[in-house]
């Protein structure tokens, strides 16, 4: 049986980009029949949040616990539930009725969660009588299993011997936890938490861990400036871009401090969240915490103006109302002033016209190391799940085309990390004056003969 649905709002981060330097990595989630099957939906979401492309294979008994439609809605494509559906797949192998081979070759990691005693026994003994067990034999990708079962089943020597066999063959067993089991007993056998399983999958994929040691301060969301006890001046920022950056930095090994204006989003687990409302509160929080940071990313849409007077009582409608507004402090400019050596400062700019020109002017005015200029148009940018951006440094410009914000977050971090590496520039110099001028702009210079200079920034 094949179930398919349109990509839903629930899977905004799913990606199918195939080529290119940041292609989404591919994971197959195998779901076997246990009460924990519903938790596999959370696992799918956790993997998608890491910008992985996810397929789902369900066993017949898994379908008794959870409808395949649940997963189809999450992944926006068919869920594989049987060996015997010919001609409905997407590749030549699928259409020849050997879809398990196609899927086995497509995937870069197979994770089975929950893994029942039955599926583990089949894997251990090479029994291939359904799609999942057949695919297991056919794949050369890393395999992870997250067992979930009754404590006595878990402790049974047959079960433990099967697990030992699988471990010896390189299968990564994500140990179950102890807790109250569906059968009413308290003991070992509870499936590991979806986030922990997702982490294990990322490790097995050798996903970048290139931000270990960095402390990243991210600001996100919009600020609100009160007019009276119930009204405020605000903006449409949802915080999605800042939260995606926080999540991406954390998954790459950084410690993250997220300073967030009001936002209806779950912050990534394990990151420290400081909640603020006004521009002044955001300023105070940023200045207090920036001393710890090695990298400051200012994705927040901070109010530029606030009401001079905040009414203690709710304002009544008594005719035309004039509001006097005063500028807020420019936090980014202050952060740049207080920066310490080695600290990178990245700003954001939402521009509706002359993106690159306005963005570069803002970068130079604010003195940040780089600025991410967002495109703001219908369906892209503010409030949307996707965004396109230009990453500008004083000397370079990179176009990041429209993509889900979680993917864009990784691309932006890739760009930021290149600022940490010494760059070798080859500069054509015409005369002594321009050579001297250029010398002022760079940190060091290795003097080379002739008119071509190698400069390390």
Q: Residue numbers of the site for ligand CTP (CB under 6 A)?
A: 279, 298, 300, 302, 304, 328, 330-332, 347-350, 362
Does the active-site annotation cover 271?
A: no
The CA–CA distances, whole Å, from 301 to 236, 240, 309, 332, 402 equal: 9, 11, 22, 11, 20
- Cα 116 from chain centroid? 30
What is the smallest separation between the CB atom of 413 and ligand CTP, expressed in angstroms? 16
Q: What are residue 219's phi and psi, to 5 degrees?
A: -100, 145
Give me the residue label for tokens 């864009």. 408
What is the smallest separation between the CB atom of 310 and ligand CTP, expressed in angstroms? 18
Nearest to ligand CTP of 120, 373 (CB atom): 373
Q: Indicate the helix (H) or strand (E) that contains 80.
A: strand 79-80
What is the smallest separation between the CB atom of 328 and ligand CTP, expressed in angstroms? 4
Nearest to ligand CTP of 42, 330 (CB atom): 330
Task: Given the residues 161, 183, 310, 425, select the one marked as catalytic.
Answer: 183
Q: Which residues contact 32 (CB under 8 A, 6 or more apart)?
A: 58, 59, 61, 62, 112, 114, 115, 116, 118, 119, 132
Adjacent-strand bridge partners of 147: 115
Nearest to ligand CTP of 61, 358 (CB atom): 358
What is the smallest separation between the CB atom of 373 and ligand CTP, expressed in angstroms? 9
Nearest to ligand CTP of 137, 356 (CB atom): 356
Q: What is the DSSP string of 122-155?
A: HHHHT---SHHHHHHHH--S-EEEEE---HHHHH
Inter-residue contact 147 to 154 (CB < 8 Å): yes
Q: What are residue 32's phi and psi, to 5 degrees?
A: -110, 175
What is the smallest separation between the CB atom of 365 and ligand CTP, expressed in angstroms? 8
Nearest to ligand CTP of 133, 328 (CB atom): 328
Angle in degrees, CA 15, 37, 201, rounded to 5: 45
What is the smallest separation between the CB atom of 180 and ligand CTP, expressed in angstroms? 46
* Euclidean distance between CA atoms 10 and 364, whole angstroms: 39
Q: Which residues contact 42 (CB under 8 A, 6 or more apart)?
A: 194
Q: Indicate the helix (H) or strand (E) that contains 88.
A: none
Nearest to ligand CTP of 54, 373 (CB atom): 373
Residues labelled as active-site residues? 183
């Amino acid at each position: 049986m094949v179930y398919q649905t349109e990509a839903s709002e629930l899977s905004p981060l799913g990606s199918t980009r195939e080529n290119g330097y940041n292609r989404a990595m591919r994971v197959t989630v195998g779901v076997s029949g246990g009460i924990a099957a519903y938790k596999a939906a959370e696992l799918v979401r956790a993997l998608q949040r890491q910008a992985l492309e996810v397929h789902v294979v369900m066993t017949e008994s898994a379908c008794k616990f959870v409808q395949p439609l649940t997963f189809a809605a999450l992944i926006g494509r068919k869920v594989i539930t049987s060996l015997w559906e010919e001609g409905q797949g997407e590749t030549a192998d699928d259409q020849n009725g050997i879809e398990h081979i196609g899927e086995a070759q497509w995937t870069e990691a197979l994770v089975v969660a929950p893994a029942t005693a039955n599926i583990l026994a089949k894997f251990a003994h090479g029994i291939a009588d359904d799609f999942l067990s057949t695919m297991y034999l056919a794949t050369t990708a890393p395999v992870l299993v997250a067992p979930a079962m009754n404590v006595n089943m878990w402790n049974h020597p047959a079960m433990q011997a099967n697990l030992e066999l699988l471990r010896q063959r390189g299968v990564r067993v994500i140990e179950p936890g102890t807790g109250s089991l569906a059968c009413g007993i308290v003991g070992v056998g509870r499936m590991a938490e979806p986030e922990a399983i997702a982490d294990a999958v990322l490790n097995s994929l050798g996903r970048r861990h290139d931000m270990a040691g960095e402390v990243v301060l991210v600001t996100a969301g919009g600020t609100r400036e009160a007019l009276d006890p119930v009204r405020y001046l605000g903006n449409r920022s949802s915080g999605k871009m800042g939260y995606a950056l926080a999540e991406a930095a954390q998954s790459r090994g950084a410690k993250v401090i997220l300073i967030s204006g009001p936002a209806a989003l779950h912050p990534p687990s394990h990151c420290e969240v400081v909640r603020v409302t006004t521009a002044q509160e955001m300023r105070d929080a940023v200045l207090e915490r920036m001393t710890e940071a090695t990298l400051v990313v200012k994705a927040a849409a901070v109010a530029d103006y606030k009401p001079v007077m905040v009414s203690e009582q709710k304002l009544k409608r008594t005719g035309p109302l004039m509001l006097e507004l005063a500028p807020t402090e420019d936090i980014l400019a202050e952060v740049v002033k207080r920066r310490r050596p080695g600290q990178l400062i990245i700003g954001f700019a939402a521009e509706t016209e002359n993106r690159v020109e306005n963005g570069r002017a803002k970068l130079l005015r604010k003195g940040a190391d780089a600025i991410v200029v967002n495109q703001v148009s219908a369906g892209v940018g503010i409030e949307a799940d996707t965004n396109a951006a230009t990453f500008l440094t004083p000397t370079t410009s990179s176009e990041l085309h429209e993509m889900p914000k979680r993917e864009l977050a990784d691309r932006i971090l890739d760009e930021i990390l290149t600022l940490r590496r010494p760059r070798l520039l080859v500069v054509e110099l015409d005369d002594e004056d321009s050579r001297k001028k250029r010398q002022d702009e760079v940190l060091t210079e290795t003097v080379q003969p002739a008119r071509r200079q190698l400069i390390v920034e």
